[in-house]
Amino acid sequence: MSKYLKTIVFAFVVCAVADPTLADKLGLGRAALPAEVAAWDLDINALGEGLPSGSGDALVGEEIFSEKCAACHGDFAEGIDNWPKLAGGVDTLDHEDPLKTVGSYWPYLTTAYDYIKRSMPYGNAGSLTDDEVYAIVAYILYSNDLIEDDFVLSDENFLAFEMPNAKGFVVDDRETTEYAIWSDVPCMKNCKDTVEITMRALVLDVTPDQVGVFTTDVVAGVVEEVLEPEVESPTLDLKLVADGEKVFKKCKSCHQVGDRAKNKSGPILNGVLNYAAGSVEGFRYSRAMKAVAEGGLIWTSEELVAFLAKPKTYLKGTKMSFGGLRKEVDQIAVIEYLKTFSR
C-alpha cells in the first residue's frame, strides 16, 4: 500500500472513530471516549483560555530547542534554508521585504504556545510536555532579546507579557466597510492575450551565491580597499581569508561585518580581534559576558580560538548557543577573515 493511500485510509478510520454514526454505518471502530477527545482537544486563544499549568525558562528551553527544533530553525532560531526564522526582524515590518518572526510580527504569545504544542516538533507533533513548550517559548523570546535567560515563563505570568507588535493588528471590518462595494461581475475587459513571467522569486535561496570580496583568487589590491591603511599587514594570509569567509557563513545569521554591519541576535564583529570583550555599543550582552568583560577579557587569537571551539564550555551562560567550530583550521580561518574588518 502506498504512503498516500495509507494516509487516506488512516484519516478515514479516524473519522469513523470520531463520528459514532459513521462508525456504526461502516462497522468500523467505535466512538471516541471523552478522555481521548480531550487529549486532542487543544485550543488556546488570545485570552489565554485553555493555557495549561506549567513553567520553563530559556536555559532549559535552549537544550530542548537544540535537540528538537534546531535542525529546521537553527541553533539561534535564525532559520535554516527555507525553514522559518523565529527571531530577528525588529523594525522591518515597514520594509519592502519584512522579516516576520515571533518577535517582530506575532501579536499574541498564546499563538506560539498553541502552535508549538499542537504541531511541533516536525514529524512528532504533540510529543512535547507542557513544561517543555513553556521552556521553548521562553527560549524564542530570549532569542528575540525580549527576556533575560533566567526569566521563568509560566501560566501565571504568560498573559502579562505583551508582544512588541500587539498593537500592529486591527479588527477586520471589511464586511461592513467594503463588501457592499464589491461586485461579483468580472471585468473581462482589456485582458492580455498572453501571460509572461517578468519577475523571479528572491527569497527561495535558488540563486547562486554572489562572488564575495574574498575568493580563492583574491588579489592584494582588493584586500587593501577594505582594510584601514594602518592594517596593511604582510602577514595576512589571503588563502586563509578566503577560507574564513566561507566558514563565516555559519555565523552570518547572527553576526554582521563590514561598513553597514548592525547588531542582530549577536553583536557586530568588526575589529573584534585584540578588542575588549562585551564592548560593542548597543548590544545586549548576557550576564556571563558582562562579568568577563568587567574582568578585563580581551579577544586575543588564543581566546577567540577557545571560545569558537566550544562557546558554552568556554563561557557558561553565554547567549551564543552555537555548538562551535570543531576544526581548528576553521577557527583560525574565520579569525583571519575577521582581521580584515576594523571598527
Reply yes or no on whether the pLDDT at 7 is more than 70.
Answer: no
Supply the DSSP symbol for 248. Answer: G
Q: Which domain holds residue 166?
A: 52-207
Single-letter amino acid code for the residue at 67? E
Q: How confident is the model at residue 269 (pLDDT cuts 50, 70, 90)?
A: very high
Is 104 inside any structural domain?
yes
Q: To the nearest whole number, what is the mean pLDDT of the chain? A: 82
220 contacts: CB under 8 Å, gap ≥ 6? 238
Which carries the bigger pLDDT value, residue 268 or residue 204?
Answer: 268
Please identify which residue in the block is written with the cell numbers 528551553.
61
Question: Phi-psi bin for 126: left (phi > 0), alpha (psi -120 to 50), beta?
Answer: left
Entry field: residues in the chain: 343
Given the C-alpha cell 569567509, which residue does it identify? 245
Residue 147 CB neighbours (<10 A): 18
Do 145 and 84 lie in one domain? The reply is: yes
* Closest listed residue to residue 150, CA positions, set 137, 139, 160: 139
Do residues 58 and 201 both lie within one domain?
yes
Predicted TM-score (pTM) of the model is 0.51
243 pLDDT exceeds 70? yes
Q: Point out which residues pair with 55 in neighbouring strands.
A: 154
Number of domains observed in the structure of the chain: 3
93 in the same domain as 36: no
Judge if 180 and 231 occupy the same domain.
no
**DSSP-derived secondary structure letter, 104:** T
- 197 and 224 fall within a common domain: no
CA 336 – CA 84 distance, rounded (Å): 31
241 and 136 both lie in a single domain: no
pLDDT at 151 over 90: yes
List for the chain the helix, strand, coil content (%; round to 5): 40, 0, 55
Task: Indicate whether 73 pLDDT > 60.
Answer: yes
pLDDT tens-digit series, residues 30-62: 888 998 888 778 889 999 999 999 999 999 999
Cα(88)–Cα(144) distance, integer angstroms = 6
Q: Please tell me the distance from the alpha carbon of residue 102 to that of residue 86, in angstroms, as a whole number.
A: 5
